[in-house]
Amino acid sequence: MSLLSALSIIFGWMLHVSFSATNTHYVFPRRTFPYQSELRMFREEGIFNYSTMLMQEDLGVVLLGAREAIYALDINNISVRKTAVYWRVTEEKQRECTYKGKHAEVECRNYIRTLHRLNATTMYVCGTNAFSPTCDYMTFSNGQLRLKGKQEEGKGKCPFDPFQRYSSLMVGNDLYSATSINFLGSEPVVLRSSDLALRTEFKSSWLSEPNFVYMDFVDESVDSAEGDDDKVYLFFSENAMEYDFYSKVVVSRVARVCKGDMGGQRTLQRKWTSFLKAHLDCSLPEPSLPPIVQDVFLLKHKDWRKSVFYAVFTPQSGSSQASAVCAYSVSAIRDIFNEGKFKTPVAVETSHVKWVMYTGEVPVPRPGACINNLARKMGMNRSLDLPDKTLQFIRDRPLMDEAVRPLTGGPLLLKKGALLTRIVVDSVLALDGQRYAVMFIGTENGYIQKAVNYAGEMFIIEEVQLYENPAPITILRLSSSKGQLYAGSAFGAIQMPVSNCSRYDTCEDCILARDPYCAWDFSTQQCLSVYSLSPSSNPALQSLKEGDVSQCPTPEPVAAVDFPLVPENNIQLPCQLHSNLAQVLWRFSDQTLHSNNKYYIYSGGLLILSATKSDAGLYTCDSVEQINDKTYNRTVAVYRLQLSSGPGLEGSTTPGNEVTDSSNSIPSLNTAAPGPDQGGEDPLSPENQRDSGRVTRLEVAVALLSLLCLSLMGVIFWIWSRGHWECTKFAKSSSANEAKRHSAEYMHIQNRTSEIKLLGPESGRPCSANNNHSAVDFKGNGEHHFTPMANISSLDGLGYINDESEI
Ligand SMILES: *[C@@H]1O[C@H](CO)[C@@H](O)[C@H](O)[C@H]1NC(C)=O
Ligand SMILES: *[C@@H]1O[C@H](CO)[C@@H](O)[C@H](O)[C@H]1NC(C)=O
Ligand SMILES: *[C@@H]1O[C@H](CO)[C@@H](O)[C@H](O)[C@H]1NC(C)=O
Ligand SMILES: *[C@@H]1O[C@H](CO)[C@@H](O)[C@H](O)[C@H]1NC(C)=O
Ligand SMILES: *[C@@H]1O[C@H](CO)[C@@H](O)[C@H](O)[C@H]1NC(C)=O
Ligand SMILES: *[C@@H]1O[C@H](CO)[C@@H](O)[C@H](O)[C@H]1NC(C)=O
């Protein structure tokens, strides 16, 4: 065994210990399924950036937009390409674009960014077209895709810059789009392209360097007692105006406009009269700048009041790697817009403006409200009839005072590691008659996390690797009726079933997976999809909230496998658990084994160092998994170690296990890997052990490493204590000015704390205890920001003035 692999074991272990100790509310997927070549994939040689998708379930196709190409793919098997159409940028356009300083092969191409359905045969499609956005009509008929060649100006409907996030939505024949309307990308708009085009005001109080992520439609006019209008909701992030930072801070927003808006008559002519926005709150457990919304999905309910937006957030500063999912009910957002207080700008000192709660009189009709019965009673049937007073109010104050809070008070999911990028949510009817919202979340390294929140318990059922090479998932779509997910990345599109219950081959596995799509069918003795169970057949078993396996048939006892014991050899007994969340428990003659100088317990099994005759006997590997308050033990493997005469055995093998010669080397495990999961991550994988690994060398290495570890801990403790001292010193500096001088120092400490977080719960945040009134964070560009604040865990505590009267 090489020093390197020994090192990786020890550090892997340190990491593991620290993780489990400090971050109890961050969840890990219970199962990990590596890339499978059976997943259906689509890509064409030489074509990249598969990032626009339009599901056409009635036509049986998925339309996929890529760079200079649009495909119609079979919705049941996206590897099957039905037809394609290419829309390449002209040489002239490309030349113009390069003259303006853009990269010919990267930016000066036509990236398809918009694909919307107009009717069963016609679609609307836009591309960046070498920084000259252009739209066209496209038909799909007789199995052929055709561009109509009726090219239209795409400015404001589609971004110029292929790298810019953007969102659009087709409602009837009206295209709603949120993007930049100019070449430089400096003029953001939320635009409705219709007979009566409307857009946002060019004011930083409306939109300040926004990053648009999602739009959706809610038919709030249905059953509305107030005679309210339908709405379009928009999610984005932008520079905050309401916080008093020295530098830019980005916040997440939800905004909305009314479908029937026609703009104002004199004030807000051809502009939205109903554009309102609010801060979207999703607090992470650690003190940090507000996280940034990356994607949203609207889980629709027949009654729109019960529809819920699910949003993915990632941290704003580079120091943290935690992502979150928060959910917001449509009614909660609506209440804030319909009844909440407004924020208003107030000039302080010379040119500085603060945004504070507006406490004055609000004009009637209420600014930003859609035309409803109340307005109609006042003789105002259209937004054009609204009085100037109402319009001027909303023109200057589009921001609501109160933030929109998550439905459950906090995140539904918190996850460390690869950042989350996209989300879709399926509503699954489980056997208990309840519906569960199953979240499918794409990551920046090409995985899908499948997660549920069971009454406050965050739970990731599994993670599935979609791409062989890590690539961010840039688009994710769901077909509930087909039970399929479709993901896109720079390199291709992939289709994945929402569940694959056949992966669970025992009743215990099936129940412990707690997957609402899967149930154990007693008659066929299989884990089956709940959709394939016929209601009349034998009852099937599911236990989602509890993971209760007590009704499963008693499993057959695990048969003991004979294993030869060669004295003075190292012996490796493999044992692969079925869950990342389970802990392994090795027993030898009813004694629990622990890692020490004789035994080494690692993720793939047990290593007995330099075995002696007394090691002969029965070894049991148990999996111990905690579900809520209950502990589930089950035996995964049993070995019977029997003494054999060493050298005579050379070359002979027990089934699957090859025992090497008697020269003290670790027996290598040939094809013994019991599960498909045993692979690269296993520090004792066959490759690592094959070449050599004498016990003496291992022992020396371990001893050396222990020394190294001890000295490392010493160094870390030294850093920690210094950090602690400097924090105390920092906390004493009372005035903001003095604190500002010290902030660089504090930043330093923050950096250090992130290193030493690995050690344990106390060391995680040496500063937080005595430093409640100040916080510093910094952005990727190395700038740092300082603000005096009362409570940094939630933005509401930030020290801005809550009320005009306080100034
Ligand atoms: C999907 O289509 C590809 C290409 O035609 C084919 O090779 C593959 O077998 C199909 N898969 C299934 C499950 O039908
Ligand atoms: C679909 O929409 C297009 C464009 O609006 C229109 O020209 C065409 O007639 C429509 N087709 C049908 C079948 O409605
Ligand atoms: C397009 O894909 C390539 C990978 O081939 C990637 O480098 C590039 O960033 C992608 N462009 C956009 C606009 O996403
Ligand atoms: C508004 O609509 C009502 C009923 O449709 C009509 O009676 C009234 O005259 C309209 N008012 C205006 C100002 O157009
Ligand atoms: C489901 O899982 C089984 C077992 O791992 C695998 O063989 C099969 O290909 C999977 N099915 C799909 C549709 O991915
Ligand atoms: C399961 O394991 C736990 C922890 O090791 C132990 O305390 C408990 O007694 C075990 N339960 C059973 C039923 O074996």
Beta carbon of 163 within 6 Å of any ligand 3 atom: yes
Q: Can you give the pLDDT at residue 751? A: 31
The per-residue pLDDT of the chain, averaged, comes to 80
Pocket of ligand 2 (CB under 6 A): 118-119, 121-122
The residue whose CA is least distant from atom 12 of ligand 6 is 633
**Residue that wins the pLDDT comparison between 173 and 287:** 173
Q: Can you give the pLDDT at residue 354? A: 87
CB neighbour burial string for 399-415, b if at least 16 within 10 angstroms, e if fewer? bbbbbbbbbeebbbbbb
Q: Can you give the pLDDT at residue 368? A: 96
Q: Can you give the pLDDT at residue 732? A: 34
Q: What is the pLDDT of residues 517-568, one digit of tens each?
A: 999 999 889 999 998 887 666 689 999 999 999 999 988 888 999 998 888 8
CA of 526 to the centre of ligand 6 (A): 27
Local confidence band at 89 (pLDDT 50, 70, 90 cut-offs): very high
The residue whose CA is least distant from atom 10 of ligand 1 is 77
Calculate what percentage of the chain has a pLDDT beyond 90: 64
| Rounded Cα gap, residues 502 and 299, in angstroms | 27
Local confidence band at 108 (pLDDT 50, 70, 90 cut-offs): very high
The residue whose CA is least distant from atom 14 of ligand 6 is 633
Q: Can you give the pLDDT at residue 25? A: 82
Atom of ligand 3 nearest to the CA of 162: 13
Local confidence band at 285 (pLDDT 50, 70, 90 cut-offs): confident
The residue whose CA is least distant from atom 7 of ligand 6 is 631
Q: Region 453-467: what's the mean pLDDT?
A: 94
The residue whose CA is least distant from atom 11 of ligand 3 is 49
Q: What is the pLDDT of residues 684-717, one digit of tens each?
A: 332 233 233 333 334 334 433 443 444 455 444 4
Q: Region 298-303: what's the mean pLDDT?
A: 96
CA of 158 to the centre of ligand 1 (A): 34
CA of 692 to the centre of ligand 3 (A): 44
CA of 118 to the centre of ligand 2 (A): 7
Q: What is the pLDDT of residues 247-271, one digit of tens each?
A: 789 999 999 999 999 999 999 999 9
Name the E strands within 387-523.
Answer: 413-415, 420-429, 435-443, 447-454, 457-465, 475-479, 484-488, 493-497, 518-521
Residue 787: pLDDT over 70: no
Residue 674: pLDDT over 80: no
The residue whose CA is least distant from atom 9 of ligand 5 is 38
* Residues sharing a CB contact under 8 Å with residue 641, sequence separation 6 or more, in sequence order: 563, 564, 565, 571, 611, 615, 616, 617, 618, 619
Q: Region 279-297: what's the mean pLDDT?
A: 91
What DSSP string runs through 241-307? SSS--SS--EEEEEEEEETT---BSSTTBTB-SS-EEEEB----SS--SPPEEEEEEEE--SSGGG-
Atom of ligand 6 nearest to the CA of 592: 5
Q: Region 765-790: what's the mean pLDDT?
A: 30
Q: Region 661-669: what's the mean pLDDT?
A: 35
Using alpha carbons, list the distances in angstroms from residue 699 to 330, 687, 711: 62, 20, 18
Residue 359 sits at the vertex; the CA angle it makes with 357 and 362, to the nearest 5 degrees, is 110
Q: Can you give the pLDDT at residue 246? A: 67
Calculate what percentage of the chain has a pLDDT beyond 70: 76
Beta carbon of 660 within 6 Å of any ligand 3 atom: no
CA of 632 to the centre of ligand 1 (A): 40
Domains and CATH numbers, the chain: 34-155 (2.130.10.10), 165-293+330-409 (2.130.10.10), 501-541 (3.30.1680.10)
Local confidence band at 590 (pLDDT 50, 70, 90 cut-offs): confident
Q: Which ligand sits nearest to residue 586's alpha carbon? A: 6
Q: What is the pLDDT of residues 306-326, one digit of tens each?
A: 999 999 999 988 777 889 999
CA of 36 to the centre of ligand 1 (A): 14
Beta carbon of 633 within 6 Å of any ligand 6 atom: yes
Beta carbon of 246 within 6 Å of any ligand 3 atom: no
Residue 634: pLDDT over 70: yes
- Cβ-count burial of 800 within 10 angstroms (0-12 exposed, 13-18 middle, 19+ buried)? buried
